[in-house]
Amino acid sequence: MVSSNPVNQSRAYNTAEVVNWSMHFWRLYTFVGTRLQVEWAAFLYVYLYPYRISTHGICLSGTGKRCHVIRSRIENFQTIAHSLTSSKIKTKIKNKDAKGTGTEFFEQQSWSTPHHHFNHRLHPILTSNMASRDEFILTLSCPDRAGIVHAVTGFLAQYNLNIVDSQQFGDPTSKKFFMRVHFAPVDIENKINLDELRTSFNETAQQMSMDFDLSSTARKPRVLIMVSKIGHCLNDLLFRQSTSQLKIEVPLIISNHPDFAPLAATYKIPFHHMPVTPETKADQENKILELVKEQKIDLIVLARYMQVLSPALCSAMSGKIINIHHSFLPSFKGAKPYHQAYDRGVKIIGATAHFVTSDLDEGPIIEQNVVRVDHALSPKELTTEGSNVESNVLATAVKWVTERRVLINGAKTIVFN
């Protein structure tokens, strides 16, 4: 359930106390943290979190200046760190018994230094990845008017939600306003019900005539990749997904040729071979839509899928299909465009990623890039250069779209990158 309760208030801590705690933790991290590969931020978080003290900076009362506790301010920290009295700690470090996050290692330990003593059971979080918390992305577009940002930020404040990042743009031509807000609960223990939050925001959206989307960053968008017989973009996307460069799920791959079934098998992704002929095209696209619904697909990526989609499919998945093509070769249509470019002696080649519409290759552009070439490159080398730029442009477009950074503005896009 969405909670509107403010963060529990605690007593004020004076500067001397906070600085003393911070100095102590720097010594602790220097001696132990590096050996356990636990981040300094995680150390400071687990200790100061119960006291609701911000780790972003400490304000000196009456002066407003930030007090940054840095290494140079801590004299003889190595000597002090080595005076820790727990023999168990030293034994575990020596024997390299400490594992993983360090949570088990630090539980029920006593620590002492000449300046400070505490016996505190640490908050049980996974310090290697920091504590998990709910984070969300709100994107919206609406007629431009005064008070939009105030309405959005006021709503978030009402539910004790903190803005992590916010970007907005008012288009003077279309008279529309676009906004992307990344936010999270102020209190990590404040669990958010996304459906209830969406319902609550709907009242604000109606007042401002907004089209909006509200999603959790914890859920990875589900992407269907379609390919024909040229596989560099497919291979690049699968590698980036498997290495978490793209935070997406790929539940299936569809192709009108069987060539890349082995590649899909390597990544353990179901491969659907769906041949296309003029007689079977309608049935094939109906099957695609069935799979989209069954697999809860958020986005279709045409990774050099060399078939023209019907207006019906484009309409059914409007704003949810991305294509890549060699856009900076407008004079060279049809087969082997790079060979045609070689014959004409082009000096740049490039690619465009765009949303798919019923107008062939004329959908709103998401990303473009070019590379310079010269007379010394062979057709094969031109193809290689073109393949590289196509892969990079498509991957960038997929990243931006799945991170909810792209909003459609008529025949063009707003990209909050």
Q: Identify the three-state secondary structure at position 69.
A: coil
Amino acid symbol at 197: L
Tell me how many degrees the CA angle 229-284-260 measures, rounded to the nearest 5.
25
What single-letter amino acid sits at 280? T
Residue 401 and residue 312 in contact, taking contact as beta carbons nearer than 8 Å: no
- 366: phi then psi, degrees, rounded to nearest 5: -100, -50
Task: Tell me the sheet residues that pair with 180.
Answer: 139, 167
Active site residues: 361
Length of the chain: 417
Calpha distance 270→253 (Å, rounded): 6
Quick one: residue 57, left, alpha or beta (phi over 0 = left, psi -120 to 50 = alpha)? left
Residues with Cβ within 8 Å of 238's Cβ and at least 6 positions away in sequence, in order, are 225, 250, 263, 267, 269
